[in-house]
Amino acid sequence: MKLTLKIWRQKNAADKGRLVDYPVSDISPDMSFLEMLDVLNDQLVEKGDDPIAFDHDCREGICGMCSLYINGRAHGPQSAVTTCQLHMRSFKDGDTIYIEPWRAKAFPIIKDLVVDRSAFDRIIQAGGYISVNTGAAQDANSIPVPKVDADEAFAAATCIGCGACVASCKNASAMLFVSAKVSQLAILPQGRAEAEQRVLNMVSKMDEEGFGNCTNTGACEVECPKGISLTNIARMNREFLGAAVKA
Amino acid sequence: MSKLNSKIPAGPIDKKWTDYKDHVALVNPANKRNIDIIVVGSGLAGSSAAASLAEMGYSVKVFCFQDSPRRAHSIAAQGGINAAKNYKNDGDSTFRLFYDTIKGGDYRAREANVHRLAEVSTSIIDQCVAQGVPFAREYGGLLDNRSFGGTQVQRTFYAAGQTGQQLLLGAYSALSKEIAKGTVKMYNRHEMMDIVKVDGKARGIIAKNLVTGAIERHSAHAVLLCTGGYGNVFFLSTNAMGSNVSAAMKAYKKGAYFGNPCFTQIHPTCIPVSGDHQSKLTLMSESLRNDGRIWVPAKLEDAQAIQQGKKRANDIPEADRDYYLERRYPAFGNLVPRDVASRAAKERCDAGFGVNATGQAVYLDYADAIERYGKIEATKMNISNASPEKIKELGKAVVKEKYGNLFDMYMQISGENPYETPMKIYPAVHYTMGGLWVDYELMTTVPGLYALGEANFSEHGANRLGASALMQGLADGYFVIPYTIGSYLSDDIRTGKIPTDSPEFEAAEKEVRDRIEHLLNTKGTKPVDYYHKRLGKVMWDKCGMARNAEGLKEAIAEIQEIRKEFWANVRVPGAANEFNPELDKAGRVADFLELGELMCYDALNRNESCGGHFREESQTEEGEALRDDDNFAFVSAWEFAGDGKEPILNKEELVYENIKLVQRSYK
Ligand SMILES: Cc1cc2nc3c(=O)[nH]c(=O)nc-3n(C[C@H](O)[C@H](O)[C@H](O)COP(=O)(O)OP(=O)(O)OC[C@H]3O[C@@H](n4cnc5c(N)ncnc54)[C@H](O)[C@@H]3O)c2cc1C
Ligand code: SF4
Ligand code: FES
């Protein structure tokens, strides 16, 4: 396949940045999207140009490191996959592909397509855990957890922290990400003890980090590669109201 | 006399760890606050160690090269984690887990360490559940288990096909809790560039801020390397793109011995290579072998027709299929250990029976499992005379529940639907049993320098059993190092802060800067990947699933040549003081180029077959691996002798007091 790539180039946080055209050819449909960028980068290096910086690590859709806004969609045209799982068979010969970074005030650009998502870490640090020290736990089977609850907690816990929800929201809200963690720990009996303080702390940190408000557009759920459900946001809102009343 | 002291406590095997804990020196809480510990790596081993040590009161710094500790490669582990809970009442016990691990490792692991691992395994599950790790459960609300290769009990705890993710997020949450308290300071997007030794002890590291390129000095009383495995020396592996050997290599050059570098695990169930552009390989969890059946056509003409695209799997009648694992190993069938399964696949493909265009693939078939589960469901739901379609539908739903995400992943990569047609799989490099040599306390041969998790060589011998790496990483971090580190640090309570303006830090920093300059100033013609791919090919062809003396000698010469070319002609763009991933990659590949050679020396020296290490010169008439306990029942601990010099071999003899050495048989 032959393609025209229009890629966001930005030297560093201070630079203004712009879209640059890169024609590529000999792209196999079996290549992954990131392998296509690898090929382009090797060509750029051989020519003495600066390769395109993008984040990636596991390349199997689990670490949450890859990002990319492709033709106006977070993680590209397919639903329920990350950019690293996207294959070129999703594109046609002759296509023009726009490749841009996540855009959100809380995710400043580092270089080209790489952004700083450490705000997510700070939200987790504000309360996304159960305070149990090593060695202090009782036998794992001493508290039974109904299978439906365990499954629901698991579904929420599969969030990979990629930030696509934020990038695809017109308000750059982090509600889906935050609610996934709040839900996981609120559903499990082990997490109930700290549930109220947790939701208050995490929500207040989220606001402080500069993420926008949720106006229920639902774009996040559509673009989330892990299918994290909006019901988590509803649950977080209930948890938050319940806790705020008591606080 | 060996220079190695493994510090194995005296006494009976099941008392050693308890006795050790009862007598090890402690550091009192007031003193802990004045002791700094550096943890490099935030995977299961690093995060669990850092969180536990911080909870105890030590002052901890953690480094990882990703943008968040949650992205360490442990996140990608799929299948599960072992623990001798015996919740299934199927005869499991600490001894059995100990025995299975020693046997699975083909009698090349240290008894005392493995027994300790089996002992603490149960506490890991307790800890993770308390943290909110959502393991799979049964309808009664209790934890579910499944079985894994190399065992006959069900002791594997899991969270769908994302066990590593859930465990790592648990450890990450524990770490986050300590970061919030200020007891851990986290350095994301930082790479350790070298170890700093002062008076023979590890006293800090030189790190690079990968965003700004700034070179930083960090001091500590002890340094823990939890930097993962080095499978990427093969270029193609199931490891993440950034996984590397650099930290271990730096330690090796500073005097830490490298244990069994050639022990590599080639995993039998990966998605086959599709072309030259390929950047990594994807594992299909071993748990799939629980229910899937592996086969190739029994007739060569059928295999050839498939290779040419003229026939498909479903065209081959049952009678003409060769379920070669069930045929060769009736007792374990599809659940033989990984090394055995991988070699058997290679044997069939080398004989011409492979099932894709390249002839390098075998089938993993779920049709029988779908039918079996379908029938069970139909019975449960009281449907008598269920139609085959209904049974298939019910069966598919069960398989989807158990393996859905793996099947989706397969579909995404291959474009084929595994619910309808068998998957194609082929072995790929997956895990490295070798790593830094450590004693019972997890200390390397450099005082104050520890290695945990996949980065050390310890519990898996010559072959790791499935679901045991997660167990080991968390055992090391949560339950071993918090005790053993006291034995060293109790001598350090009066040392005070380690200054970073000493000549040792000065010299280490200069070395790091010089190397970066060298890489940038070479300004050759070929990108880093060009050399990495060449190295990978040599390693896969000559130090992969089967090895022989002649090939290994050739490989050593070839790697030396590639290394020379790399340093003379690599092209690294950009500058030192900016975000420059190509430069970081260049540094890592440079280290792989040294490791590859070391692995070949080790493989050459070990003229026996054991576990994942198969020397063609040492096999039975039936082509099974042949161990040589008289000559090779030892750990190879390699000592750096200087650049361009052959490394020096030290041996730690392995003494088996509780398990009798026998040739492994899964027949
Ligand atoms: C696809 C896949 C599936 C697997 N499935 C299973 C399974 O089902 N069950 C099982 O038991 N095992 C499984 N394993 C093996 C297991 O996941 C790993 O062995 C284990 O997670 C390793 O953990 P670790 O903490 O030692 O290292 P890692 O998780 O690899 O962490 C390494 C850390 O070190 C950091 N690092 C490395 N070098 C540097 C440096 N120079 N400077 C700074 N930081 C550095 C990285 O940033 C990272 O944080 C699987 C492995 C793979 C690849
Ligand atoms: S909720 Fe979905 S989109 Fe948002 S960070 Fe988690 S996985 Fe990514
Ligand atoms: S690179 Fe890990 S999720 Fe894409």
| Mean pLDDT in residue range B379-408 | 91
Six-digit token string for B112: 């005392």
Q: Do B571 and A45 touch (CB under 8 A)?
A: yes
Mind listing the pLDDT tens digit for each residue in B542-566? 999 999 999 999 999 999 999 999 9
Mind listing the pLDDT tens digit for each residue in B186-204? 999 999 999 999 999 999 9
Q: Do A129 and B176 touch (CB under 8 A)?
A: yes
pLDDT value, residue B81: 97
CB distance A181 to A122 below 8 Å: no
- Chain B residues 489-508 within an 8 A CB cutoff of chain A: none
Q: Do B241 and A133 touch (CB under 8 A)?
A: no
Output the CA B658–ligand 2 centroid distance in Å: 49
Beta-carbon pairs below 8 A across chains A and B:
221
Which of B71, B321, B338, B588 is an active site residue?
Answer: B338
Output the CA A208–ligand 2 centroid distance in Å: 19
Q: Do A39 and B277 touch (CB under 8 A)?
A: yes
A158 CA closest ligand 2 atom index: 7
Residue B469: left (phi > 0), alpha (psi -120 to 50), or beta? Answer: alpha
pLDDT value, residue B402: 84
pLDDT value, residue B666: 77
| Mean pLDDT in residue range B58-86 | 97
A85 CA closest ligand 3 atom index: 4
- Assigned CATH topology for domain B16-263+433-489: FAD/NAD(P)-binding domain (3.50.50)
Better-scored residue on pLDDT, B232 or B401: B232
Residues of chain B found within 8 Å of residue A110, distances taken between Cβ atoms:
211, 579
CB distance B170 to B47 below 8 Å: no
Count CA atoms within 13 Å of residue A91 on its CB side. Answer: 25
| Mean pLDDT in residue range B647-653 | 98
Rounded-to-integer distance, Cα A111 and Cα A120, Å: 19
Q: Is the minimum CB–CB distance between B581 and chain A shorter than 8 Å?
A: yes
Active-site annotation holds for B338: yes
Residues of chain A found within 8 Å of residue B169, distances taken between Cβ atoms:
157
DSSP for B188-250, written as a single string: TTEEEEEEEEETTEEEEEEEEETTT--EEEEE-SEEEE-----GGGGSSSSS-TT--SHHHHH
Q: Do A12 and B579 touch (CB under 8 A)?
A: yes
**For B117, which DSSP code?**
H
**For B254, which DSSP code?**
T
Q: What angle do CA B614, B616, B618 make, to 5 degrees?
A: 80
Minimal Cβ distance to B177: which of A51, A129, A161: A129
Report the gap between the CA of A45 and the closest CA in chain B (Å): 6
pLDDT value, residue A82: 97
Q: Which of A64, A113, A105 is nearest to A225 (CA)?
A: A64
Q: Is the minimum CB–CB distance between B68 and chain A shorter than 8 Å?
A: yes
pLDDT classification of B424: cutoffs 50, 70, 90:
very high
Q: Residue for token digits 């589960």?
A: B373
Six-digit token string for A247: 């606080």
pLDDT value, residue B408: 87
Q: Which of B618, B614, B151 is nearest to B343 (CA)?
A: B614
Residue A6 in contact with ligand 3 by CB distance below 6 A: no
Q: Which of B256, B129, B207, B433 is nearest to A188 (CA)?
A: B129
Report the gap between the CA of A159 and the closest CA in chain B (Å): 10
Ligand closest to B282 (CA) is 1
A160 CA closest ligand 3 atom index: 3
Q: Is the minimum CB–CB distance between A81 and chain B shorter than 8 Å?
A: yes
| CA R_g for chain A | 20
Residue B137 pairs in a beta bridge with B143
pLDDT value, residue B147: 82
pLDDT value, residue B444: 98
pLDDT value, residue B443: 98
Rounded-to-integer distance, Cα A86 and Cα A77, Å: 9
Is the dihedral angle over the CA atoms B435, B436, B437, B441 positive or is it negative? negative
CB distance B135 to A143 below 8 Å: no
Q: Residue for token digits 């582990």?
A: B77
Q: In what order do the strands lie in the sheet with A69-70?
A: A18-24, A3-9, A96-100, A69-70, A73-74
Residues of chain B found within 8 Å of residue A48, distances taken between Cβ atoms:
571, 573
Residue B227 in contact with ligand 1 by CB distance below 6 A: yes
> How distant, in Å, are the alpha carbons of A70, B406, B557 from that of A30?
18, 19, 35
Q: Is the minimum CB–CB distance between A231 and chain B shorter than 8 Å?
A: no
Six-digit token string for A168: 């695809």
SS3 A124: helix
Residue B44 in contact with ligand 1 by CB distance below 6 A: yes
ipTM here: 0.98
Q: Which of A79, A85, A164 is nearest to A120 (CA)?
A: A164
Residue B477 in contact with ligand 1 by CB distance below 6 A: no
Residues of chain B found within 8 Å of residue A140, distances taken between Cβ atoms:
85, 125-126, 128-130, 143
Q: Is the pLDDT of residue B70 over 60?
A: yes
Tell me the CATH number for domain B501-628: 1.20.58.100
Minimal Cβ distance to B165: which of A30, A62, A129: A62
Six-digit token string for B143: 């934890």
Strand B156-157 versus strand B81-82 pairing type: antiparallel
| Mean pLDDT in residue range B478-492 | 97
* Domains of chain B, residue spans: 16-263+433-489, 268-427, 501-628
| Mean pLDDT in residue range B509-534 | 97
Residue B63 in contact with ligand 1 by CB distance below 6 A: yes
B239 CA closest ligand 1 atom index: 53
- Chain A residues 97-156 within an 8 A CB cutoff of chain B: 110-111, 114, 116-118, 120-121, 124-126, 128-141, 143-147, 150-151, 153-154
pLDDT value, residue B275: 82
- Which domains does chain A show, CATH number per domain? 3-42+50-110 (3.10.20.30), 117-132+144-246 (1.10.1060.10)
CB distance B613 to B542 below 8 Å: no
pLDDT classification of B1: cutoffs 50, 70, 90:
very low
Q: Tens digit of pLDDT per residue, chain A (247 long)? A: 999 999 999 999 999 999 999 999 999 998 999 999 999 999 999 999 999 999 999 999 999 999 999 999 999 999 999 999 999 999 999 999 999 999 999 999 999 999 999 999 999 999 999 999 999 999 999 999 999 999 999 999 999 999 999 999 999 999 999 999 999 999 999 999 999 999 999 999 999 999 999 999 999 999 999 999 999 999 999 999 999 998 7
Ligand closest to A168 (CA) is 2
pLDDT value, residue B3: 78
Minimal Cβ distance to B71: which of A57, A116, A131: A57
Output the CA A150–ligand 2 centroid distance in Å: 20
Q: Is the minimum CB–CB distance between B246 and chain A shorter than 8 Å?
A: no
Which residues have CB under 8 Å from B561's CB, separation 6+? none
pLDDT value, residue B2: 57
Q: Is the minimum CB–CB distance between A194 and chain B shorter than 8 Å?
A: no
Helix axes B44-56, B163-181, angle to 10 degrees: 30
Q: Do B132 and A191 touch (CB under 8 A)?
A: yes
pLDDT value, residue B337: 83
Report the gap between the CA of B279 and the closest CA in chain A (Å): 6
Output the CA B454–ligand 1 centroid distance in Å: 7
B76 CA closest ligand 3 atom index: 2
Return the amino acid letter for B391.
I
Kind plus residue range of the DSSP H or E element containing B436 = strand B435-436
pTM metric for this prediction: 0.96
pLDDT classification of B638: cutoffs 50, 70, 90:
very high
CB distance B82 to B471 below 8 Å: yes
Three-state SS for B281-324 is: CCECCCCHHHHCEEEEECCHHHHHHHHCCCCCHHHCCHHHEECH
Q: Is the minimum CB–CB distance between B132 and chain A shorter than 8 Å?
A: yes
